[in-house]
Amino acid sequence: MTAPSRPGGSELVRRLVVPLAAMTIAFGAGWSLGAGRQDSTDWQVATVTVDGDGATAAVGGDTLGIGSSVPLWIGSDGATHTAGWPACLDSLDGSSGSFAVVVDEVTIDKEQVAAVVALDCRASD
C-alpha cells in the first residue's frame, strides 16, 4: 500500500487560492450591485396643521392625515423616537408649521395608501 501523495506547491495554490479569489470577486460584485439598489430616505418639507386631536401634512400637492402616532419622529433635541405623537405638534394646536417628513405607501385594510411615516421636529423653515 502506498501513502497518499500530498499535493505539490502549484496544486495547493490551484486548490485554495483560485476558489478564494473567485469567492472574493463574487462577493465584491454582489456588494456593489446591492449597494446600488438601496432605498434612500426621501425627506420632504411639509406644512403640518394641528387641529384638536388630529393633524394633516400638506406635502407634494397632497394632504395626508396624521393619526395619533407617527412610526418614527425626531424631537427638537435630535433624539429619535419610535412611534407616538411628536411632542413638537402639541404647541401647534390650531396653527401650522413646516417640518421635514417621509411619506411612504403603507397597507391599511388591504389597501395601499400614502402616509407620513417619519417626522423631524426640528423646524424646516
pLDDT band at 3 (very low <50, low <70, confident <90, very high): low
pLDDT at 31: 47
How far apart are the C-alpha atoms of 75 and 87, rounded to whole Å? 7
Q: In angstroms, rounded to a whole number, what is the distance separating the alpha carbons of residues 60 and 64?
A: 10
What would the pLDDT profile of 8-42 be if each residue is shown by its tens digit?
A: 667 765 666 555 555 555 554 454 454 544 567 89
Instruction: Give the pTM.
Output: 0.66
pLDDT in tens, 64-113: 999 899 999 999 999 999 999 999 999 888 999 999 999 999 998 999 99
Amino acid at 28: G
Q: Could you state, in order of their start, the residue ranges of all structural domains in the chain?
A: 8-38, 43-120
